[in-house]
Structure 1
Amino acid sequence: MSNARTGQKKRAQGSESGIPKHKGIPVELGGKTYIVPSMSLGSVEKMIDRIQEFSGGLDPESIGIALDATHAAIVRNYPDFTREELTEEMDLGNMVEIMHAVMDVSGLRRKAAEQEAASEVAGEGAAPLTGEKSTLTSAPASAGPGSTAEKT
């Protein structure tokens, strides 16, 4: 196998040991599967305002956000993967799917969904979310068949 092919195989696996440095979500790009980890906190900090504006549309800003966020995540496991390569491998068919994977891994989409659900519940007359634990009380279970309770 040529050195070029060996290098491509190692890069698609993530490291020389074949195990990516960071856990993530498998994403197919250019016929190869890459493990896309979460974005580092530094990357999220730099991009948070842009990420929150991602619409998934075909506007230049959304395309740029998808490329930048995906690249920031993927280089954590594949440091030699260039943004230019990513622009060739991501396409209209996988842009939103890959961006969702990047955001799910980063926890941003999950947190947004949780906040939205909490807002809907609070808006329907439910008690406000306080972060306090609640206690659930229920009737004691009956001593049915197979019970070790004493019979009278």
Structure 2
Amino acid sequence: GVAEANVRVASRNFLPNISGTGSYGGAQLELNPTWSLGLAFTWNIFDGGNLIAAYDEAKANLGAASARVKAAELTLIQNLEQAEIAVEAAQERIQAARVLITSAQENFRLAQGRFDVGVGTILELTDAQLALTQAQNTEAQALADYRIALAQLDRAAGRR
């Protein structure tokens, strides 16, 4: 990335600079053309520690950037794991709610039968109806939680 490129640039500043020039020419009537070649070599041996400081700063920035990337990766992994756990927990709540509904339906059926033959009370029947309604509400909430957990998992995985 950018931080790695900055380290490469800073490390190249320790190397010498070499440059060259050349020319060829002459007057129209001259038989001997002129040639000119030049080579320049510069190397900043002492700069008061500026090159070393710039290199050290680039290395520190690279380390900080690497740490930020690692932290982001760990956060992503944690978010994915939490979303997966939430999906599994919601699935378990759905199954538990369905078992509860089955039990409440049977309890209501029995209360209705007792009421119909005159051995059950209206209070028993309405309590059984309330328990069934609460079980159905629990299932509806578990289904909603499951859909939310799936959406959060998709978002954590970058799918939405």
Q: TM-score, normalised by structure 2?
A: 0.20
Instruction: Write 1 or 2 for the structure with the bigger share of helix.
Output: 2
TM-score (norm. length: structure 1)? 0.21
Larger CA Rg, structure 1 vs 2: 2
